[in-house]
């Protein structure tokens, strides 16, 4: 590939940044279904923005019922490489300080706004890589297709629909993660331990515990409601839990206590402070009337003790050289006087099986008197590090960045999890926290340009 391609990308940096800013302005959080707009108004508008831009830049586009849009480099070439990105974003959230989520600004070499790094910025880097090759007159012998989805953040119904109509390409990469390359995604084991208990009317008692908003996130907040309880007796236990576990315990009502922890993605639970689990520990310390409900709350903390994120007491601790430690976190909590449900999310190494994971967890849960409810395991995704795809992508990354390329394994799942020969490849450079999914999300301009060059080099090497 000649130097002209990289020179083209440098010369079009400002245009790339402007296109990304225009893209970010579209609030593409999933909305209510409308006729012809399966994921709502925002994702529809963002998908059409990407489609219109691709058509403007000379690519052949196709709309798959507003679930997915594609941009082909040249339909006359054999379909060989797919680049799988998405136009939807997670909700805006709170705590933004640099700008509002959908009012992008460029400041100190960074583009701020929701979706800047996940995944609108990486999508634009891939589109500009294709454009740079095309407008620089580079001859390719294999076809490239940019696939733009509209529902990655909320279940990937978009791409499921697409693959009902189209075949997987020979090779696929998704610019929806980090460099160097992710060729292993752990399996997933999710479920709940549940228990129905005899209601006790003895006072004081626990009326309810609710915590968690998503199964894939460590809960940041938990709310305990009590009945017939002298809240003065809660002060010392609240102080103890706050000190011991590093959370906040606040009386938020006459009979209500709120625990505030630190949220984290379920694939990295060690970086959070689980408010729901802290609430269980606090309940154990409160002078409540003895009952079956409290007995099983204590048993839940024995299966999921504070600070343990490897599933040891759940019977599923394991580790392998390829994908490292299993992670396990309790993320959704629902307790009433008659029932309780604790939902867990576990990311399982390549060595995980039904026998050493699901069956072990069931045995532990049932021995403690709980029922285990699960749909079973989602298997891990592995593409060999010795494959042509992985070696070529790592070579392009090393050539452009001068950094060491290596394969990574993650606990999260990406767009390519169900594909035979798909990997996550960039676009975030190592060591950079872009606040993805959080407040003040950004994409560095230099990072954006570098990613475009890496993708151009990778496309060329795979399709020349």
> Can you give the pLDDT of all 464 residues of the chain as single tens digits?
779 999 999 999 999 999 999 999 999 999 999 999 999 999 999 999 999 999 999 999 999 999 999 999 999 999 999 999 999 998 898 889 999 999 999 999 999 999 999 999 999 999 999 999 999 999 999 999 999 999 999 889 999 999 999 999 999 999 999 999 999 999 999 999 999 999 999 999 999 999 998 888 899 999 999 999 999 999 999 999 999 999 999 999 999 999 999 988 888 999 999 999 999 999 999 999 999 999 999 999 999 999 999 999 999 999 999 899 999 999 999 999 999 999 999 999 999 999 999 999 999 999 999 999 999 999 999 999 999 999 999 999 999 999 999 999 988 788 898 899 999 999 999 999 998 888 899 999 999 999 999 999 999 999 99
Q: What is the pLDDT of residue 381?
A: 93
- Give the C-alpha separation, 274 to 211, whole Å: 9
- Give the C-alpha separation, 368 to 295, whole Å: 10
Active-site residue, from 88, 176, 331, 441: 88
Sign of CA dihedral 8, 429, 115, 216: positive
Q: What are phi and psi of 255, to 5 degrees?
A: -125, 30
Q: What is the pLDDT of residue 142?
A: 97
- Give the C-alpha separation, 241 to 235, whole Å: 10
How do beta strands 143-149 and 79-86 pair? parallel
What's the pLDDT tens digit per position in 366-420?
A: 999 999 999 999 999 999 999 999 999 999 999 999 999 999 998 878 889 889 9
Going from the C-alpha of 385 to that of each of 138, 188, 321, 324, 395, the distances in angstroms are 28, 21, 14, 16, 12
Active-site residue, from 19, 82, 152, 441: 152
How do beta strands 324-325 and 319-320 pair? antiparallel
Q: What is the pLDDT of residue 95?
A: 86
Tokens standing for 123? 């999508």
CA dihedral 383, 388, 389, 394 (to 10 degrees): 100
- Give the C-alpha separation, 12 to 162, whole Å: 32
- Give the C-alpha separation, 406 to 322, whole Å: 12
CA dihedral 39, 96, 116, 445 (to 10 degrees): 170
266: left (phi over 0), alpha (psi -120 to 50) or beta: alpha
Q: What are phi and psi of 147, to 5 degrees?
A: -100, 120
187: left (phi over 0), alpha (psi -120 to 50) or beta: beta
Catalytic site includes residue 152: yes
Q: Are 126 and 25 in contact (CB under 8 A)?
A: no
Tokens standing for 331? 């993320």
Nearest-5° Cα angle at 183, 182 to 189: 95
CA dihedral 112, 446, 451, 116 (to 10 degrees): 0
113: left (phi over 0), alpha (psi -120 to 50) or beta: left
Catalytic site includes residue 74: no
Half-sphere exposure of 143 (CA within 13 A, CB side): 18
Q: Are 204 and 227 in contact (CB under 8 A)?
A: yes
- Give the C-alpha separation, 381 to 99, whole Å: 37
Tokens standing for 149? 């989805």
Tokens standing for 333? 């909590």
Q: What is the pLDDT of residue 216?
A: 84
- Burial (CB count within 10 angstroms: exposed 0-12, middle 13-18, buried 19+), residue 9: buried
């Amino acid at each position: 590939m000649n130097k002209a391609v990289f020179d083209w990308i440098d010369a079009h940096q400002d245009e790339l940044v402007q296109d990304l800013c225009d893209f970010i302005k579209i609030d593409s959080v999933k909305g209510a279904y409308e006729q012809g707009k399966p994921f709502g108004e925002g994702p529809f508008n963002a998908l059409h923005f990407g489609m219109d831009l691709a058509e403007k830049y000379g690519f052949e586009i196709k709309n798959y019922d507003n679930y997915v849009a594609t941009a082909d480099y040249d339909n006359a070439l054999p379909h060989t490489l797919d680049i799988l990105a998405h136009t939807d974003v997670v909700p805006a959230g709170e705590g933004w300080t640099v700008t509002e989520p959908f009012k992008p600004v460029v400041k100190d070499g960074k583009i701020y706004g929701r979706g800047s790094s996940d995944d609108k910025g990486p999508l634009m880097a891939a589109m500009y890589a294709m454009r740079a090759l095309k407008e620089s007159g580079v001859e390719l012998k294999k076809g490239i297709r940019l696939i733009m989805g509209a529902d990655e953040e909320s279940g990937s119904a978009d791409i499921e629909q697409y693959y009902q109509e189209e075949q997987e390409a020979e090779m696929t990469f998704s610019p929806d993660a980090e460099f160097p390359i992710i060729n292993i995604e752990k399996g997933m084991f999710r479920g709940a331990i549940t228990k129905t208990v005899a209601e006790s009317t003895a006072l004081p008692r626990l009326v309810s515990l609710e915590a968690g908003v998503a199964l894939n996130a460590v809960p940041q907040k938990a709310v305990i409601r009590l009945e017939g309880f002298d809240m003065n007796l809660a002060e010392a236990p609240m102080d103890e839990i706050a000190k011991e576990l590093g959370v906040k315990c606040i009386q938020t009502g006459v009979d209500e206590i709120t625990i505030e922890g630190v949220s984290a993605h379920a694939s990295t639970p060690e970086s959070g402070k689980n408010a729901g689990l802290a609430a269980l520990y606090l309940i154990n310390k409160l002078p409540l009337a003895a009952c079956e409900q409290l007995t099983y709350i204590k048993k839940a903390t024995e299966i999921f003790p504070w600070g343990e994120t490897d599933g040891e007491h759940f019977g599923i601790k394991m580790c392998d050289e390829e994908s490292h430690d299993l992670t396990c976190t309790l993320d959704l909590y629902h307790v009433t006087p008659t029932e309780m449900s604790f939902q867990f999310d576990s990311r399982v190494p390549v060595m995980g099986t039904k026998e050493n994971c699901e069956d072990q967890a069931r045995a532990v849960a049932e021995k403690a008197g709980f029922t285990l409810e699960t749909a079973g395991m989602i298997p891990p995704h592995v593409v060999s590090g010795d494959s042509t795809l992985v070696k070529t992508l790592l070579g392009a990354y090393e050539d452009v960045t001068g950094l060491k390329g290596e394969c990574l394994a993650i606990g999260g799942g990406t767009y390519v999890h169900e594909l035979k020969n798909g990997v996550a490849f960039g676009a975030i450079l190592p060591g950079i926290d872009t606040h993805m999914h959080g407040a003040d999300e950004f994409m560095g301009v230099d990072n954006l340009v570098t990613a475009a060059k890496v993708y151009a080099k990778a496309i060329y090497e795979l399709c020349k």
